[in-house]
Amino acid sequence: MANSSQLLKGILEGCILKIILKKETYGYELYSSLKTSGFDDLSEGTLYPLLIRLEKNGLLSSISRDSPLGPKRKYYSLTKLGEQEFLDFCSSWDKISKSVNRILGDDLID
């Protein structure tokens, strides 16, 4: 599938917003949560540009804090715009997933 990486980025954005909605978090903690949730092929090289773009688009805000284990960490939280974007994602996801599941549930082999 040629555009599967674009599809994955869109889905990842929604998942990132959900994780950060639940609690403020930093990049590696977010990366670990996504990996634990089944995004096995996710690389940090995919995640960090997404975080930068989400912040640039006003969906996330960040603050640097001291880390007990080394350099400062950048903690992310959702902005009001980010919360609305998450709700919009959920609505779109619900509609799309129902449509896809209807099609995939059909017996395609006659």
User: What are the structural domain ranges in the chain?
Assistant: 4-105
- Tell me the per-residue pLDDT of 69-92, one tens digit each, with 9 for 90 and over: 889 999 999 999 999 999 999 999
Model confidence at 20, in pLDDT bands (50, 70, 90)? Answer: very high
Fold of 4-105: Arc Repressor Mutant, subunit A (1.10.10)
Q: Give CA–CA dist 40/104, Å, rounded.
A: 24
The residue-averaged pLDDT of 31-52 equals 92
- 53, two tokens: 């773009």
**55, 41 Cβ separation under 8 angstroms:** no
Which residue blocks in the chain are alpha helix, DSSP H?
4-22, 27-36, 44-56, 80-105
Write down the pLDDT at residue 2. Answer: 52
Model confidence, pTM: 0.86
The residue-averaged pLDDT of 29-46 equals 92
